[in-house]
Structure 1
Amino acid sequence: MRVIRGRATTISADRERTRTLLDRTGRTGEPAVRVWAPHRQVAFGRREAAEPGYDRAVAAARERGFEPVERSVGGRAVAYTGSTVAFAGALPVTDPRAGLDERYDATVERLRRALASLGVDAVPGEPPDAFCPGSHSLQCGGKVVGVAQRVRTDAALVAGCVVVDDRAAFAAVLDAVYDALGQPFDPTSVGSVAAAGGPSAPDPVIEAVERALVGDDPTTVRRIGNGHT
């Protein structure tokens, strides 16, 4: 397994790093994992770019100091405050019609164990009107983790975010963004690792999530890059 660490110097370079990770897995068949704290941004789902209110949503993000970007995996808009942790796991695929639920279930369970190791007793599910609503989430006093998936003919990318701290800023920008898009969102539905009794810094969360996604065989790991952010 290949493990990519650290954050690139710009948002565009950082996004290219994840695209390269997925392309390499599709080409070589070697799984890869990346866990990091992205730059401050709001990542919109692809379908939102074609919806009424998208321009207003983009403006709302920028007005609050969040750069708007469009992400490749599905789902609704997600914020990254600087302490929010992102994860991306690239897995080889032989049949794009098979394995979707299994990949989701395995990832959610590994993330649950990662949070448990940090003292956060998260459970599957999410409150009503949560950010990026979906059936593959974890909650503890609010939604803490969201997971999405993109499947190609040669590889799948299972990715998502963990709200570590700054849930007020996270909720405030998404409240404005979802309002512009005409989508339901309850700011009180946002939880965080820190509010649930875990660490408030991203590095311990990055380490726990990386460890859980990589698994128990460190001899298979090739780590590329230094540091977490």
Structure 2
Amino acid sequence: MSPANDLDLPRLLATGSTGPAPTELVVPALLLRAPTATWSELVHIYVPHGPTVAFSGRDLRSPGIAKATEVARAAGFATVVRSPGGRMVAYDAGAVVIDHLDRTTGIRHAGSATFAANAESHVRVLRGLGDVDARVGEVDGEYCPGEYSINVAGTAKVVGSAQRVTATGSLFSTVVQVAVSDEVRAVLTAVSQALGYGLRESSIAGLADYAPGLSSAEVAAAFAADYRDRLGLADGQVPAAVAAHAAGLVPEGAGPFHVDDWTRAHPVPST
């Protein structure tokens, strides 16, 4: 990667799901590892295709991972090990996912400063959606706990983020819970229990619990407008070659589909 050249490339905003859960989570991993790209920064915002439990590498070290996978699949959720870190999160079409890929930054720009800056920007968007007392900070007993989670009124988590940095750039991924279904709530609880994670069920909430009638599409549009204006992004799309490459994957095996294993075994086409 040549940082000087990458700075001259377009900064793009793409919207819309790229397919089922494994494809949705493989696409940013492929883009992150691509040796070349026609963009310097790409933000992809979408409403998920369907029910998903996104595990992390840390979750795989739990002796309960097999049980957790079984529980999630029995509830009709796709099980995927995502590229970014953190811990398990469950979501469905009642959520919004934001993948922010940046080829102009390196490991020196990762860490708490990135989380803090993104959290502050996201809080501003949420506060503009209605009567949402959005705050930065971890609440007691939340799933995928983190210092820069976003909660409402200090009681329930509604947004979580995770990051991955490679030699070719960084991926900052965010899940915004808008309307938490009974199924998502039950799976978060059961999978957390299987993995041995403590969870306070009342810490699970969506934005619509505080701003009734708010939809995932409205929230996705609000975030798209913020990223477009704040970062000067031009409307674009996920590179067609990458989307087509990811669409051809076929998850196999008893365990959850492992995004990084698949991307290493299936080199990304030129983007």
User: TM-score, normalising length from structure 2?
Assistant: 0.76
Change (3 A) 1:87 1:217: closer
Residue 173 of structure 1 pairs with residue 187 of structure 2: yes
SS across alignment from 1:194:
helix
The within-5 A match list for 1:140-219 is: 140=152, 141-197=155-211, 199-216=213-230, 218=232
Q: Which aligned runs of 4 or more in structure 1 are off by greater than 6 angstroms?
A: none
Tell me if structure 2 keeps the 8 A contact 1:111–1:213: no
Deviation of 1:209 after TM superposition, in Å, equals 1.4
Counterpart residue identity of residue 224, structure 1: Q
Question: SS of the counterpart of 1:97?
Answer: helix
- Distance in 2 (alpha carbons) for counterparts of 1:26 and 1:49: 31
Contact 1:113 1:212 (8 Å CA) reproduced: no
**1:97 maps to 2:108:** yes
Matched, 1:32 2:66: no
Q: Classify 1:136/1:177 alpha carbon distance in 2 versus 1 (closer, same or farther; 3 Å).
A: same
User: Using the alignment, how far apart are the partners of 1:160 and 1:102 within structure 2?
Assistant: 15
Which residue is equivalent to 2:139?
Answer: 127
User: Aligned-pair distance for 1:25?
Assistant: 9.1
Identity over aligned pairs, percent: 30
- Give, in whole Å, the separation in 1 of the partners of 2:105 and 2:199: 37
For residues 95-137 of structure 1, what are the alpha-carbon distances to aligned partners after superposition, in whole Å with 9 as ceiling and x for unaligned? 4133422221221111111111111220011321101111111
Q: Which amino acid aligns with 1:89?
A: H
2:66, 2:180 → 1: CA distance?
A: 25
- Which residue matches 2:254? none
Structure 1 residue 223, shift from structure 2 partner? 2.0
Q: Distance in 2 between matches of 1:198 and 1:21?
A: 36
Separation in 2, partners of 1:90, 1:25: 14
TM-score by length of 1: 0.89
Contact 2:162/2:174 (8 A) holds in 1: yes
Amino acid at match of 2:60: A
Counterpart residue number, 2:234: 221
Partner of 1:7: 17
> After alignment, is 28-37 or 187-196 more displaced?
28-37
The counterpart of 1:73, out of the listed 80, 84, 87, is 84
> Could you tell me how far 1:11 is from its partner in structure 2?
2.3
The structure-2 alpha-carbon separation of the partners of 1:53 and 1:94, relative to structure 1 and needing over 3 Å to count, comes to same
Aligned to 2:93: 82
Ranges in structure 2 where 5+ consecutive residues have no aligned partner = 1-10, 239-271
Instruction: Report deviation, 1:213.
Output: 2.7
Asked whether the 8 Å contact 2:42–2:101 carries over to 1, the reply is yes
User: Aligned Cα RMSD in Å?
Assistant: 2.1
Per-residue deviation at 1:170? 2.3
